[in-house]
Structure 1
Amino acid sequence: MDLFKLFACLGAAPALGVFATQAVSFVPPASSPLSTSANYVGINNGSLPIEQIVPGRVFDRFIQIWLENTDFSVANSTAEFRSLAERGILLSQYFALTHPSQPNYAATIAGSFFGIADDSVHDIPSNVSTMVDVLEHGGISWAAYMENLPADGFNGASFSSVNYVTPGAADYPFYMRKHNPPILFDSVLKNPSRLARVRNFNDFAVDATAGALPQWLFVTPNMVNDAHDTTIDFAANWLQFWLEPLLEDERFNNERTLILLTFDENESQNQNNNIFGLLLGGAVPSSMKGTVDTTYYTHYSAMSTVQSNWGLGCLGRGDTDPVMSNVYELVASATGFENNPVSGKKIPLTNASGATPGPLNPSPSLRTPWPAANSSAICAGGGPVIATPL
């Protein structure tokens, strides 16, 4: 299929869980995690450059893998997730920030979701700094890998391609912009060199094979492999296909790699937003595998942990919130960061949608000007507040 025909497939997503109601079986999208595939749609553009490694206190590479819309209890009772938990540190008090999906993705690299309360297309202005600025300021290489992204830096709301799960069915919207954190920000979207780092899984295969994976990765599976349109068992099968072999491959996971496997939000929105979080990888000491960390964490903790590990600056937003930005204890104990002992009724309720004021809140009564960063914030890594994009 040529690229013009592929782009013509762009369209709206079907109802949530459409494949779940059809009880379809998992189909591997490629022959192996490091194989390119027509199912990933976009051709690769050659590997990223192999860049100098900046040593961290606990890890030299941080990989986030996000799945979708699942309660902690559901993931934690699924065989594959229990098996993985025996090889890592279970974060039992890990919480998403809001509902629906998109604001959680935005917040995890911006320290705020700016009042977003929907999955509509938002372009966040170029003067809003993100973790990309924090990473680049510290010389840390980065990339985001989006399964089924049709072209590096593609900015469409969704993209439909050949339905490899159900051959002969209509093209399916496997890719969604709302699950692609960097592309939400004009500081990335309007910067060609940064945009080239928003890549698909064919690029991932080439980068990994070339030894060119960066030090900070955000990985988003497609809409069936992340459990959004399927089930937790479908996502478990994807993890067995994609993640399990890579855990044994030093080009992805070595003794200096920390992997966060988690979910964007829970499914039961009448309950607080507790989600399954798991730390894996060679940076997890053998003595800590199979253990449970009961510290209160949120998606902001992924930011503060990275900042603490590399001695970086911060954004002066949620990544410095005294309640919501605890550093993973594995790292906090090595860097001297003192976590806040939040528990029980002191854990904030983060299961509401649309209740947080911000410039992108759809309610006029809750809409605010774009907030300035807190320039006097204390960064977990001890660096400066990065208030302006580089």
Structure 2
Amino acid sequence: MNTGYNFRPPSTSPNATSTNYVGPTNGSLATSPVVPGQFFDRIIQIWLENTDFATASAAPEFKSLASRGILLDSYYGLTHPSEPNYVATVGGDFWGMASDNLFNIPSNIATIVDLLDTKSISWASYQENMPTDGFTGFSFSSANYLSPGSSRTRAFYVRKHNPLIIYDSVATVPSRAARIRNFNDFAADVNANAIPQWVFVTPNLVNDGHDTDVKFTSSWLKYWLEPLLANPNFNDGRTLILLTFDENETQTVNNQIFALLLGGSIPASLQGTTDSTFYTHYSALSTVQANWALGSLGRFDTNKTLANVYSPVAAAVGYTNQVVTGSSIPDLSQSGTTPGPLNPDPSLVTPYPAPDTSAVGAGGGPVFV
């Protein structure tokens, strides 16, 4: 998609506040002791939107970034449309969801936050153009900074790209909801060297490519990510960065997406290499679990086929990944065919399943109940 917009920086720099972000900063998060991991001490996930692997991998900025990291060329989204992919990567399931509607997943359903909290590992999510911390609204419109002088507003923020707020176990707990932060808070946190150990970043609807295209997103990466890669408050020698997309654009083919591991934790010997291990969004969960020897959610985060651990982390912890290639790669291009409590087809609606307490995840710890 190309709306005709030209990229315009929403702020003077990634670590500067801006009235374009609407919500004021609430000051920086309090720093807490670092819990050492096996391969990284901080992981930052940056999600972009709706782009085929071939399109992203051919773009000059993505090529440049890939030369400094590990290209994961067998990485797959889980389904269509966007929202179920987001909720799955923090909750281990998308619950049959097949739309981008407003959902409130019940408070007895655990997420990655529960696993992190068991070991006092700090976390936060940063959502560009979200008006206030912990905002639960469906979307938010603000002045269109791409068209200076215009009186028109547009929606830059949408809830469906904010996975943790969709879970009531986060959204209805004030201390947790306060950690769903806007980009003015991000500026405060990076300047105070207070970026937590687990981080999820969602750019706004133009910068993530949802309403624009990969060229526009490339300009945002040059403006936002490139300077931060050189900022030790964001990217130190123990930081792993996952840059990826929620789903591909061409939904008639399997759901292969561009994914890249960057950051100071990637050794020079692996920079500019390609890893063809089969991964999905569940791998983000299993990799975090393996790195910090966490428990699991007892869901698809423990599925040996769908939740391979990123190879450098697997090597560091001694985890053996499954070999999934060619025709053994499952078809992940479907939408609406998976039974679950949020499936729109009444014949496919099921209750929320209890965690499988016999499951063993990549971290080896107990299933969180």
Q: State the Cα distance separating 1:169 from its structure 2 match.
A: 5.0
Q: Residues 331-389 of structure 1: CA distance to partner in whole angstroms, max 9, x if unpaired?
A: 001101110000100001011110110000010111001101110111211111112xx
2:8: which partner in 1?
27
Q: State the Cα distance separating 1:166 from its structure 2 match.
A: 1.3
1:236: which partner in 2?
218
Of residues 189, 192, 196 in structure 2, which corresponds to 1:214?
196
Is 2:256 the partner of 1:274? yes
Rounded to whole Å, the distance in 2 between the matches of 1:355 and 1:39 is: 40
Of residues 71, 74, 87 in structure 2, which corresponds to 1:90?
71
The percent of aligned pairs where both chains have the same amino acid is 60
Of residues 317, 321, 330 in structure 1, which corresponds to 2:312?
330
1:68: which partner in 2?
49
Of residues 121, 133, 138 in structure 1, which corresponds to 2:119?
138
Is 2:138 the partner of 1:157? yes
- The one-letter code matched in structure 2 to 1:56 is G
Q: Residues 60-90 of structure 1: CA distance to partner in whole angstroms, max 9, x if unpaired?
A: 0000000000000000000000000000000
Q: State the Cα distance separating 1:126 from its structure 2 match.
A: 0.3
Of residues 242, 245, 249 in structure 2, which corresponds to 1:263?
245
- The one-letter code matched in structure 2 to 1:89 is I
* Paired residue secondary structure (2:73): strand
Count, aligned residues: 368
Q: Which residues of 2 match residues 91-106 of structure 1 at below 5 A?
A: 91-106=72-87
1:309: which partner in 2?
291
Long gaps (5+) in structure 2: none
Is 2:236 the partner of 1:254? yes
Q: Residues 43-68 of structure 1: CA distance to partner in whole angstroms, max 9, x if unpaired?
A: 01111101100000000000000000
Rounded to whole Å, the distance in 1 between the matches of 2:50 and 2:136 is: 23
Of residues 196, 210, 230 in structure 1, which corresponds to 2:178?
196
Is 2:23 the partner of 1:42? yes
* Paired residue secondary structure (1:218): strand
* Paired residue secondary structure (2:181): strand
Name which of structure 1's ranges 270-279 and 378-387 shifts more when overlaid on structure 2: 378-387
Q: State the Cα distance separating 1:181 from its structure 2 match.
A: 0.6
TM-score, L = length of structure 2: 0.99
Q: Which residues of 2 match residues 292-303 of structure 1 at below 5 A?
A: 292-303=274-285
Q: Which runs of 4+ in 1 moved over 3 A?
A: none
2:365: which partner in 1?
383
- The one-letter code matched in structure 2 to 1:267 is E
Q: Residues 311-337 of structure 1: CA distance to partner in whole angstroms, max 9, x if unpaired?
A: 111101010011100000010011011
* Paired residue secondary structure (2:266): coil
RMSD over aligned Cα, in angstroms? 0.6
